Amino acid sequence: MALTELLGALPLVSSGMPKFQVAAIYLAIGFVSWYIISSTTAWYRLKAFPGPPTTGFSNFWAARAVWTGKTRKIFPETQEKYGPITRIGPNALMVCDAATVVNINGVRGGYARPKDFYDCIRMDPWDQTVLSETDSAMHNERKTKVYAGYQGKGEMDLEKDVNMVVSEAVELVRTKYMHSATSGPKPPLDYTRIARHIAVDAVTQTGFGKAWGDVREEKDHFGWLGFADMAVGYVHTLAYIPAISKIVLSKPLMALLGPKPTDKTGMGAYLGLIEREVARRYKDGEAKGRPIKADTGRSSMLDEWVKHGVTQRTAVLEVSAQLPAGTDTTASALQGTMLYLLSTPSAYSRLKSEIATGIREGRISSPITDQEARKLPYLQAVLNEGIRMMPPLMNGFPRQVPPEGDTICGKFVPGGTDIFVNYIALLQDKSVFGEDAHMFRPERYLEGDEEHRNRLFKTTDLAFSHGRWRCLGQKLAWLQLQKVTVEFMRNFDMQIVDPMHPCNLRCHCTPEMDDLMVRITEARLD
């Protein structure tokens, strides 16, 4: 039967209503019916898991929590109310259990990345990177090729690259912000800003072989940080609403409105910059695929990737993913650690003392090396405690339960369910970290027997994920954490300008901190 004949047989047509209006009404009725049926089915599928009332029917509760920038507060409170496995959407559960994190990220666990979510974090709307690839085989292939670069293998020297950036930061602070008897008053330092500049320069220095110069010039080159501040809330909120993200990220809409390398501003301009920089580093014609060395003469991640068979297009994609993956996450760890140190006099003094003793005994070079830093027990305790209190990801990217389902926290979870990790609740678990888990107290990592200490360190290490999905940039991030913390502590004494309101903090997914203003004076290492 033709559509017009079908509509003509419907009761509404007899009222004289135009057929296009009748069609619209029945389409609306069909949509509502579909929504009710699909929502009821989704609710029933995970009805055994408690959560906020609307989460069984809609993703908007979780999306709203992300949009507010208060996930650091909302998700832990929700988890505390509803239990270790909480429903946050029609097909989404959130956990705060260390054993589950290990299981869902294990090589043989069978968990995958849900495509709808990871498509939202692509830097290039047309292609995947190791950060967003959802096909497990392709992800493993990509990771194998880029792994050597992230680990500083071959002709790279990650430490030397990070040393250059940190030394520039120390010199800038000493020259422009440090009070002394002869210099007179100096402006306070926005530590949050310089931490972000350090992270950007460290990534571009190691990735391209040449830093953008954010630290030296105190400038947000190419507007990257401004773009990140503008976009991150939208991106992470959209990722929690698959029905909308599929439309927004559809190829027709991206072709019309998406970023293009020829754009003058925003994401497109950034992608264009990456394309030009990578192209400059490849020879044309017969030598294509063999990079030109960076201006420093040393190898960079880009050079190492080419050695391992990374094509020019793939190199563009992977370089484009470095900044979002490795800047604000590292910066938030630098910021959070320093905030808690400056707010905890006992920890501040004890770390100062450990550094002073190491310098006197010749165990700390200038700048400190990775090996030297790892032999300073209180420094390692401070850095782990900083990561625990301010993890790089608050509400981790999801994994999808394999088709056969799995048992999580004692309950069977159907296949295809998205599992999110509540890292704040996980890293403040009193059964692991003690009754004072909500407090910054680095000493906890030095107490008890070896088995107890190892459990604390291993649980904290989950902040960088686990197994095949483990953060590739952890080594670079840890180098920055160690070197920045020690070099700033050995060179300067720092004081929060406004202890009643030390900074502004928001969190959509990664903590974002602004305006941690500190007064700088010359260090006294007694």
Provide, rounded to the nearest whole percent, the portion of the chain with pLDDT above 70: 88
Nearest alpha carbon to residue 254 among 230, 271, 241, 278: 271
Partnered with residue 399 across adjacent β-strands are: 419
Give all domains of the chain, ordered by start, each with its CATH number. 3-111 (no CATH), 136-522 (1.10.630.10)
Give, in order, the Cα–Cα distances in Å from 293 to each of 55, 152, 512. 52, 15, 35
Which amino acid, 401? V
What tens-digit pLDDT sequence spans the chain (526 residues)?
444 454 455 454 445 666 666 666 767 777 566 566 555 666 668 999 999 999 988 899 999 999 999 999 999 999 999 999 999 999 999 999 999 999 998 877 789 999 888 888 777 777 888 888 888 888 888 888 888 888 888 778 899 999 999 999 999 999 999 998 777 789 999 999 999 999 999 999 998 888 889 999 999 888 888 888 888 888 889 888 888 877 877 777 777 766 777 777 667 777 888 888 788 777 643 344 455 554 555 678 888 887 777 888 888 888 888 888 888 899 999 999 999 999 999 999 999 999 999 999 999 999 999 999 999 999 999 999 999 999 988 888 899 999 999 999 999 999 999 999 999 999 999 999 999 999 999 999 999 999 999 999 999 999 998 888 888 889 999 999 999 999 999 999 999 999 999 999 999 888 899 999 999 999 876 5
User: What is the C-alpha to C-alpha distance for residues 241 and 221, in angstroms, rounded to an integer?
Assistant: 32
β-strands 85-89, 92-95 pairing: antiparallel
User: What is the C-alpha to C-alpha distance for residues 405 and 414, in angstroms, rounded to an integer?
Assistant: 4
At 519, which helix (H) or strand (E)?
strand 517-522
- Give pLDDT, residue 510: 87
Query: What is the DSSP code (8-state) at residue 510?
Result: S
For the question of whether the overall pTM of this predicted structure is more than 0.75, the answer is yes
Block residue for tokens 């350090």: 198
Block residue for tokens 């190892």: 454
Token pair for 28: 């609306």
- Give pLDDT, residue 370: 96
Q: Is 300 helix (H, G, I), strand (E, B) or coil?
A: coil
- Give pLDDT, residue 68: 94
Phi then psi dihedrals of residue 58, to 5 deg: -150, 150
Q: Is 128 helix (H, G, I), strand (E, B) or coil?
A: coil
- HSE value, Cβ hemisphere, 13 Å, CA-based, for 41: 6
Question: CB 404: neighbour CB atoms within 10 A?
Answer: 8
Beta strands in 411-499 (DSSP E): 411-413, 418-422, 492-496
- Give pLDDT, residue 342: 97
- Give pLDDT, residue 19: 65
- Give pLDDT, residue 16: 60
Is 509 annotated to bind ligand?
no
Phi then psi dihedrals of residue 43, to 5 deg: -60, -45
Token pair for 256: 């019309």
- Give pLDDT, residue 298: 63
Answer whether 86's CB lies under 8 Å from 78's CB.
yes
- Give pLDDT, residue 146: 82
